[in-house]
Chains A and B, each alone.
Chain A
């Protein structure tokens, strides 16, 4: 699949939350778009990703 423009490979049935955590993302500070649509944070644990998907991930930093 594509994650932030880079090709990465995931196993079938991979959960989005597991993959994000494995990449070091802190879920509550992260916005995820799956194929152009924002995934509500409550839905991230039940969302399954595959190699045809495209993810855009933002890990927000504090300050404003």
Chain B
């Protein structure tokens, strides 16, 4: 006999492996998550493990996204230039929506000053942001592939890193780099969604401005760094951007 937390309840069990446990307690279920990690092979159970056994007929991603067969995004790739306030939130939103692969680049490490608006937590301090975001996404859905590049992006490495993407997001904070990305990505022929104006705590509306058939700019267009950048409006702008990405992917206008 040992004690585990089974689907939220402290439970005494005689089973010793995850497969025995599933078969004995929830035979119609097919996914076993042990201490936050879905296990695909029969695994020895340790005392006081937190185990959740659930039914995901269409697989884990299908159970998480709740989209059914409406939108097969699992074969799509989205590129994110920057893993700060916009990039970390956009990545999280797209992963929850079931976008199968995310390529993300940033050369920075997580610091205290990031925690006011980026999805990272104290456990991520000192990590490269691309490694921290991989960890965050893996904890949400390990079936989503995150490919990180710890590089400062420029005109030369952007085409190399992001060439296979269906859509790209601009998630820099520096306006000069934002303009550079528009120039570089437009030459690659990949649809681009940019962010401009999400600072402060004002009421400026988060809009989508269509610049061409393949370039969009989201945000209030005005508020800038001098107002400070806080979580609510950054997440709002990231949400508008991620939503535009889903529209582009699902309209089939991507390559």
Contact = CB atoms under 8 A, between A and B. Distances in A.
On whether the two chains bind one another, the answer is yes
A59 B225 CA distance: 14
Interface stretch (B1-9, B28-36, B131-139, B207-215): B207-215
A38 B182 CA distance: 8
B47 interface: no
Contact of A56 (B175, B196, B212, B224): B212
Contacts of A59: 175
Interface residues of A, number: 18
Given A31-B182, A31-B211, A56-B211, A64 B173 contact: yes
A61 B224 contact: yes
Contact of A41 (B174, B183, B211, B213): B183
B87 interface: yes
B197 A58 contact: no
Chain B interface extent, by class? 35 or more
25 contacts: A29-B176, A29-B178, A31-B182, A33-B212, A36-B213, A38-B182, A40-B187, A41-B183, A56-B211, A58-B179, A58-B182, A58-B196, A58-B209, A59-B175, A60-B178, A61-B219, A62-B174, A63-B173, A63-B223, A63-B225, A64-B82, A64-B85, A64-B86, A64-B173, A64-B195
User: 9 nearest interchain CB pairs?
Assistant: A60-B175, A64-B173, A61-B224, A62-B225, A29-B175, A38-B186, A31-B182, A60-B178, A64-B86
Interface of A: 28-31, 33, 36-38, 40-41, 56, 58-64
